[in-house]
């Protein structure tokens, strides 16, 4: 899956909102249009749910927060295994605790072309 992840990373670095599809069923108005799904490895691939923090005034935050990446491909997905709480909450707590080495600024040109 490494190559597919690099492709996904490149897409997300280039255009986080355009890379995936916004989840429509999100109830909270604050999150509508902020949580996306991208299939890593093509339409039948692994689900990646991610959050793009909304802009504050004119400032773009410029972060992509992955919430969940499924280990199974799309058709084999088991919803019982979705532990969005574990992964999403870990990332939030790392950020809040100042563990910034767990994050990185990724420019699209850093991703090797061979991964595409």
State the residues that interact with other proteins by CB under 8 A.
6, 9, 21, 23-32, 34-35, 37, 43, 47, 49, 51, 53, 56, 59, 61-63, 65, 67, 74-75, 77-80, 82-85, 88-89, 92, 95-96, 98, 100-101, 103-107, 110-112, 115
- The CA radius of gyration of the chain, in Å to the nearest whole number, is 14
Nearer to other proteins among residue 15 and residue 61 (C-beta) = 61
Q: How far apart are CA 12 and CA 6, in angstroms?
A: 10
In angstroms, give the least distance from the CB of 61 to other proteins. 5
Mention every residue, 6+ apart, whose C-beta is less than 8 A from residue 35: 22, 23, 26, 49, 50, 51, 67
Least distance from C-beta 40 to other proteins, angstroms?
A: 14
């Amino acid at each position: 899956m490494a190559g597919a992840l690099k492709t996904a990373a490149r897409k997300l670095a280039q255009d986080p909102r355009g890379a995936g599809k916004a989840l429509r069923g999100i109830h909270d108005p604050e999150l509508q249009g902020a949580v996306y799904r991208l299939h890593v490895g093509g339409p039948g691939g692994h689900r990646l749910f991610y959050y793009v923090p909304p802009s504050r005034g004119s400032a773009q935050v410029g972060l992509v927060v992955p919430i969940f990446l499924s280990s199974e491909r799309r058709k084999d997905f088991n919803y019982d295994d979705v532990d969005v709480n574990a992964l999403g909450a870990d990332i939030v707590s790392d950020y809040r605790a100042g563990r910034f080495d767990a994050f990185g600024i990724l420019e699209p040109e850093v991703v090797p072309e061979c991964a595409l």
